[in-house]
C-alpha cells in the first residue's frame, strides 16, 4: 500500500485522509519536513493559500517539497493547494512553490458564487466527479506541458503536468473519492518508475 501525506499546516486535512484511505492508500497528516522521507505522494489541501504558503516557508517545506517533487513523487493540490503549486498568481508579485507551469486567479468566481456544487466531466475518470467549489481559484493559463483534465463554463478547473495534479475545487468534501483514486494511481505509477 502506498503511503501518502496530507500537508497539515492549515486547511481541510481529515477529509483528505479519509478519501485517500477509501481510495486504498495509507494516509497521514504531515507537520514536519522529516516525514516527507517516508512518503510516496503528498496532498496540499484547500484552506487559505497565503497562510499555507507562510507556514510552509516558516517550517522549511518550500525547498523540501520542491525536492520531493523533483524526485518524481506526485503532488496533488486542491483549491488553495492548487494556488500553492502555481508558477504565477494573477495580481501578486510572489507565488509559492512555483512547480507547475500555470497562472491562477484567486477567488475567481466573485462574491455572487462564493460556493456551489456541480458534477464535472474529468478526463481519465469514467463517471462525472462531484465538485464543491468554495472561494475557488481558476487556472487562467497553462504551459505546453500541462494537460487540461476538466473545465467548468470554459474555464480550467483541473490540470495535470506529469506528476502534478491540480484541482480548483474540494474533492474531499463529498463521498466521491474518484479523484483521490486517480491520484493514488499516479503515485503507484511513479513508484513503479523509480524502482
Active site residues: 79, 170, 172
Check binding of 86 to ligand GLN (CB under 6 A).
no
**57-68 b/e with 16+ CB inside 10 Å = b?**
eeeebbebbeeb
Q: Give the separation between CA 76 and CA 24, rounded to whole angstroms.
A: 16
Question: Are 19 and 171 spatial neighbours (Cβ–Cβ below 8 Å)?
Answer: yes
Map grid coordinates 510572489 to a residue: 94
Using CB under 6 A, pick the residue from 5, 41, 47, 74 that binds ligand GLN: 47
Give the binding range for ligand GLN (CB under 6 A) out of 40-48, 144-152, 157-165, 180-188.
40-48
Check binding of 135 to ligand GLN (CB under 6 A).
yes
**In the bound complex, what is the minimum distance in angstroms from residue 172's beta carbon to ligand GLN?**
11
Q: How far is CA 177 from CA 57, 64, 182, in A?
A: 30, 28, 9
Give the binding range for ligand GLN (CB under 6 A) out of 31-39, 42-50, 65-73, 159-167.
42-50
Check binding of 80 to ligand GLN (CB under 6 A).
yes
Question: Are 168 and 137 spatial neighbours (Cβ–Cβ below 8 Å)?
Answer: yes
Residues of this chain that interact with ligand GLN (CB under 6 A) are: 46-49, 79-80, 83, 106-107, 134-135
Amino acid at each position: 500500500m502506498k503511503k501518502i501525506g496530507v500537508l497539515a499546516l492549515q486547511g481541510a486535512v481529515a477529509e483528505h485522509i479519509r478519501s485517500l484511505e477509501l481510495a486504498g492508500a495509507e494516509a497521514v497528516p504531515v507537520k514536519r519536513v522529516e516525514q516527507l522521507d517516508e512518503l510516496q505522494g503528498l496532498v496540499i489541501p484547500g484552506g487559505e493559500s497565503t497562510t499555507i504558503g507562510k507556514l510552509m516557508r516558516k517550517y522549511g517545506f518550500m525547498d523540501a517539497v520542491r525536492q520531493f517533487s523533483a524526485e518524481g513523487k506526485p503532488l496533488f493540490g486542491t483549491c488553495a493547494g492548487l494556488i500553492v503549486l502555481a508558477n504565477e498568481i494573477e495580481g501578486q508579485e510572489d507565488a509559492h512553490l512555483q512547480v507547475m507551469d500555470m497562472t491562477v486567479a484567486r477567488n475567481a468566481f466573485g462574491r455572487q458564487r462564493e460556493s456551489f456544487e456541480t458534477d464535472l466531466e474529468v478526463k481519465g475518470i469514467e463517471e462525472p466527479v462531484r465538485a464543491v467549489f468554495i472561494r475557488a481559484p481558476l487556472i487562467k493559463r497553462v504551459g505546453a506541458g500541462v494537460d487540461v483534465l476538466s473545465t467548468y463554463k470554459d474555464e480550467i478547473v483541473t490540470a495535470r503536468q506529469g506528476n502534478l495534479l491540480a484541482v480548483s475545487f474540494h474533492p474531499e468534501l463529498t463521498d466521491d473519492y474518484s479523484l483521490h483514486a486517480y491520484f493514488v494511481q499516479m503515485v503507484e505509477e511513479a513508484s513503479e518508475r523509480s524502482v
